[in-house]
Each structure stands twice: as structure tokens, then as C-alpha cells.
Amino acid sequence: MIIDAGLRYDYVKNYDGSFSDSSGSLESKNFSDDNWSHVSPKIAALYHITDNTSVRGSIGTAFRAPILDDLCRNVILRGKI
């Protein structure tokens, strides 16, 4: 059996964000700076049943940085801002 463990560090910074609408139908807005960080651990195992057969398994967490649309747009969708 082989056991492997790892850590991943993610850091995201959003700065100098703004939204403007030249038609005037939406409010222009400047967004404050923000940042996110996350440590994602993972552990995996490999077990050789025979010379030609093995079983693998892993478990861990992940981080997904917000996309620009999530950060800088305010809309009402299904009653939520």
C-alpha cells in the first residue's frame, strides 16, 4: 500500500473593481478590495491487489475563487441580490 498526503495553498486578490453602465439604467459602482485564501488538504492511497490489479482512493477539499461576474455585478435574480 502507498499513502500520499498533500497540501495546496490558494490566494486570490480582487482590487480596483468598478462597474459602469453608459445607458444610465444601472447604478455605477466602485468595489472595495478583497482577498481570499484557503488551504486544501488531500490524502490518497494506492493498494496493489495483484501485479495487474490495484485500487486507488483519495479524499480532499478544494477552493474555487469567485468569478468576476460574482464579484462585480449586482442583479436581482429570483428575489436575491
Residue boundaries of the structural domains of the chain: 2-64
- Cell triple for residue 70? 460574482
pLDDT at res. 64: 84
pLDDT at res. 27: 67
Listed in sequence order, the residues at least 6 apart from 1 whose beta carbon sits closer than 8 Å to its beta carbon are 45, 46, 47, 48
Of 36, 37, 45, 35, nearest in space to 6 by CA: 45
- Decide: helix, strand or coil at residue 69: helix
Average pLDDT value for residue range 36-58: 95
pLDDT at res. 77: 64
pLDDT at res. 45: 97
For 64, half-sphere exposure in the C-beta direction (CA atoms, 13 angstrom radius) is: 4
Comparing 42 with 33, the larger pLDDT belongs to 42
